[in-house]
Amino acid sequence: MVQVTVDPVSRIEGHYRINTEVDGDGVITDAQSNALLFRGFERLLQKHDPRDAALMTERICGVCPVCHSIAAANALDDLFGVADQVPKDALVMRNIHQGMNLIASHAAHIYVLWGPDLANPAYHDILIQHGDMGSAVWGELSGRFAPLVNQYNGIRHPAGSSYLGAIGELRRLHEAISLFGGKMPHSVLQHVGGVVYSPHIGDIGELAAYVSKTAEFVETFTLGVSPDTWIENTYRASSPQNAVDFLLERLQELLGNSLASNDFSHSSGWGDVPLFAAFGSELIGEQLLDLPISMKMDRAGGYSDPDKIGFLSYGLFFKPEKGDGYDPGSPADDRVIPSGHMNGHLELEEFDYRKISENITHSFYVDEEEDRAPWNGITVPEGDPDKINYTGGSESRYSWAKAPHYDGIPCEVGPLARLLIMGEPLTTGLVRAFEENGYSPANNYTRMIARMQEILVVIPELMKWILQDLEPDAKVAVHTDLSMAKDSEGMGLWEAPRGALGHWIATGPDSMTTLYQAVVPSTWNLAPRNAQGIPSPVEQALIGTKISAAENALGVDYANPLGILHTARSYDPCLACAVHTIDRTGKHPDQIIRVL
């Protein structure tokens, strides 16, 4: 048994460590997910004006600040009792704000954080064994995805074309957000009762222009076809099978054009999605398209026991058709991407918040109760330096993250969970195909394809919100007064780009905050084990995954553990989100947050 540790896992948000045990065949047999930083964020909201929550909590994360400010604003709407009156145009503005940040965040993850692993030298060594085609594909991978700081065999390599293009998109979308949000990161739009800026007609034209430019990037770099064509045949396909057929036909057509020339460049139609869709998967690439080689991402990062995993979405984007106001406790009906829970056998059921609890058996917290509902959470950080130790193995306490579970089962959250629960045809079709062929339906390949697909799903919705739903110079906030927050409670359910996000707040008789709690996506995905010893999603995904590139294609190389790197990064880790603490002050020991 060999111990392979990645510490720190770079190219993520925050500070993170993965420790694994690997057997002689190069298969991971045990794993611990360690969150390395304790920041103590929510405590600093206590005893302060609750209205500050949107601008304070967005500072939890600089990659996805917008979702925190919206989850907080939703919780404040509830706290002040105005959620049913929030103007429709404010809700549309929340959608636009979130939609732009979601695309920017996904682009940053796919290209800047996750993508560089495709330019790992191990793929060079594997691909050049496959003649001109292999060399050509390696040329594309390294030429598109190499990061800014990258040296190979002593020579500095320039950053990849798609990598640099994505930084430009991130910049463009943040510029668009600044038009109505003041600046980005940490924009200032969200406020209790609505938003603080009402766009003028000129702003609306500009926003649409920004999104059109992003669609151009997607056409040139990401897809190789127009986003409209793609969406028409995938997101709007009449069945999951039709969506998968479209993808396969598209890939076959591209291969037909390129097999002789070995030209897999952007200009010959090989966008980043088709390139990854064909060469990333053993099932799609090698079995269905007869390619000689693939990166076998579908063999890695899956779940071996469907009874120990679920998928969860709290629901995302308000439906503008519903008009003013929304029900903060019922995100099932009024969200474009619905809330829901799907078990490991892919059976969908209604989402019931009361089934969530958080466990600290393996976390560095001190509490007589190991399992609590998050809205009852009491969290006291370990204060003894000698007890903070990450090397004690799976039985020990080993993380600053808690372990949330739904009905006792850990859940994956994020684009794959959302699109599955939504029934998005391409994602659903691919997942079924993997399941029918003996693969884990969730794996590193489907997780990344879902993230790419969600960008495509959001672009046309974003255009609709901007051009059809948003009224210029409309009323965007209801008036509130601090006294409305006296002795109250609020809940804001929303989604971060990387998964389910909930904020809870309670106030005392002076209207000041007594409790603040955020349950965030990376806590779900990157938790330690729970009390029953069930590993978290990322730990389950690591166990059984091969340690080295493409299923140990060149033998076992413990010193280049791509199996860990791809799998850990496929969840888009955001550790600043994952690690947090809250407890109730002694003043209101009996206070229970309302949960609907």
Partner 1 sequence: MMMDRRTFIKAVGVLGASLFLQTYKSDMAKALNELPETKIVWLHGVECTGCSISMLDGESPDIVELLQIFNLNLLYQEVLMMQQGIFVDGKPANNSELNSEILLDEILEHERGYILISEGGVPNGPDGSGKYLILGGRPYKEVYERAAKNASVIVAIGQCATHSGVNAAESDVSELLDHRGIAFTLEDSSKGIVDLLSINTPVININGCPAHPDWVFLTIGALALRKIRVPEDLPEVLDRWKRPKVFYPPDHTVHDNCPRRGFYDRGEFDLTVGGEKCLWKLGCKGPYSHADCATRHWNGHRNFCPQAGSPCIGCVQAGFPDSTRPFYVEIEDTGIVGTDLDTIAGVAIGGALLAAGAHAIRRTVLKKPEEKKDISEEHAPEKTGDEK
Q: Which residues between 490 and 509 bind partner 1 (CB under 8 A)? A: none
CB of 473 to partner 1, least distance (A): 10
Size of the site for partner 1 (CB under 8 A): 97
Question: How many Cβ atoms sit within 10 Å of the Cβ of residue 431?
Answer: 25
Q: Which of residues 61-100 bind partner 1 (CB under 8 A)?
A: 61-63, 65
Q: How far is the CB of 113 from partner 1 (least distance, A)?
A: 7
Output the smallest distance, CB 247 to partner 1, in A: 30
Contact pattern for partner 1 over residues 307 through 346, marking x by CB under 8 A: ----------------------------------------
Q: Taking the complex as a whole, how short is the minimal distance between the CB of residue 32 and partner 1, in angstroms?
A: 13
Instruction: Tell me which of 561, 563, 567, 571 binds partner 1, using CB under 8 A.
Output: 561
Give the C-alpha separation, 537 to 529, whole Å: 9
- With CB under 8 A as the contact rule, the residue among 24, 256, 383, 555 that binds partner 1 is 383
**Residue 383 has which token pair?**
């204060």
Q: Binding to partner 1 by residue 248, rule CB under 8 A?
A: no
Name the one range near partner 1 by CB under 8 A: 78-86, 133-141, 163-171, 234-242: 163-171
Query: What is the spatial distance between Cα 586 and Cα 504, in angstroms, rounded to a whole number?
Result: 18
* Residue 108 contacts partner 1 per CB under 8 A: yes
| Rounded distance between C-alpha atoms, residue 16 and residue 33, angstroms | 8
Kindly identify the residues of this chain, within the stretch 509-528, that bind partner 1 according to CB under 8 A. Answer: none
Q: How many residues does the chain have?
A: 596
Phi, psi of 371 (to 5 degrees): -130, 120
Q: Tell me which of 27, 30, 49, 135 binds partner 1, using CB under 8 A.
A: 49
Among 321, 350, 368, 384, binds partner 1 (CB under 8 A): 384
Q: Quick check: 197 binds partner 1 (CB under 8 A)? A: yes
Residue 583's closest CA among 365, 310, 424? Answer: 365
Nearest CB to partner 1, comparing residues 256 and 479: 479
Please report whether residue 188 would count as binding partner 1 according to CB under 8 A: yes
DSSP sequence for 111-139: IIIIGGGGG-HHHHHHHGGGHHHHHHHHH
Which residue is listed with tokens 């206070």?
591
Q: Would you say 338 and 500 are in contact if contact means Cβ atoms under 8 Å apart?
A: no
587: contact with partner 1 by CB under 8 A: no
Q: Which is nearer to partner 1, 354 or 475 (CB)?
A: 475
Out of 8, 139, 143, 329, the residue judged to bind partner 1 by CB under 8 A: 8
15 interacts with partner 1 by CB under 8 A:
yes
If binding is defined by CB under 8 A, does position 143 make contact with partner 1? no
Measured distance between the N- and C-terminal CA atoms of the chain, rounded to whole angstroms? 48
Q: Which of 133, 167, 346, 373 binds partner 1 (CB under 8 A)?
A: 167
Binding segment for partner 1 (CB under 8 A), chosen from 285-293, 307-315, 375-383, 490-498, is 375-383
Task: Using CB under 8 A, pick the residue from 388, 463, 531, 556 that binds partner 1.
Answer: 388
Of 171, 345, 486, 587, the residue at the interface with partner 1 (CB under 8 A) is 171
Q: Give the whole-angstrom CA distance, residue 332 versus residue 318.
A: 10
| Candidate list 184, 422, 470, 593; residue touching partner 1; CB under 8 A | 184
Rounded distance between C-alpha atoms, residue 90 and residue 97, angstroms: 10
Q: Are strands 356-359 and 371-372 parallel, antiparallel or unpaired?
A: antiparallel
Q: Is the dihedral of CA 316, 303, 574, 532 positive or negative?
A: positive
Among 32, 33, 46, 74, binds partner 1 (CB under 8 A): 46
User: Per CB under 8 A, does 292 bind partner 1?
Assistant: no
**Contact range with partner 1 by CB under 8 A, out of 328-336, 383-391, 431-439, 462-470:** 383-391
DSSP 420: H
Return the DSSP state at 356: E
Q: Does 35 bind partner 1 (CB under 8 A)?
A: no
Interface residue with partner 1 among 130, 133, 135, 175 (CB under 8 A) is 175
Binding residue for partner 1, selected from 27, 40, 255, 594, defined by CB under 8 A: 40
**Does residue number 362 form part of the binding site for partner 1 (CB under 8 A)?**
no
How far is Cα 286 from Cα 295, in angstroms, rounded to an integer? 10
Residue numbers 439-478 binding partner 1 by CB under 8 A: 475-477
Cβ atoms of 97 and 63 within 8 Å: the answer is no
> Shortest gap between Cβ of 422 and partner 1 (angstroms)?
28
Q: Which long-range contacts (CB under 8 A, 24 or more apart) does 349-357 make?
A: 351/312, 351/313, 351/314, 351/315, 353/493, 353/595, 353/596, 354/595, 355/406, 355/407, 356/404, 356/405, 356/406, 356/519, 357/404, 357/405
State the amino acid at position 387 in one-letter form. Answer: K
Task: Give the x-and-dash track for 109-138 against partner 1 (CB under 8 A).
Answer: ---xx--x--xxx-----------------
Residue of the chain from 27, 164, 378, 531 that contacts partner 1 (CB under 8 A): 164
Contact pattern for partner 1 over residues 200 through 219, marking x by CB under 8 A: --------------------
Please name the residue that has the structure tokens 């979405």.
313
- Concatenating the DSSP letter of every residue in 243-307 gives HHHHHHHHHHHHHHHHTTTT---GGGT--HHHHHHHHS-IIIIIIIS--S----GGGSS--S-GG
**Least Å from the CB of residue 511 to partner 1:** 11
> Which 567-586 positions form the footprint of partner 1 (CB under 8 A)?
576, 581, 585
Question: Among residues 419, 476, 467, 471, which one has the least CA distance to residue 442?
Answer: 419
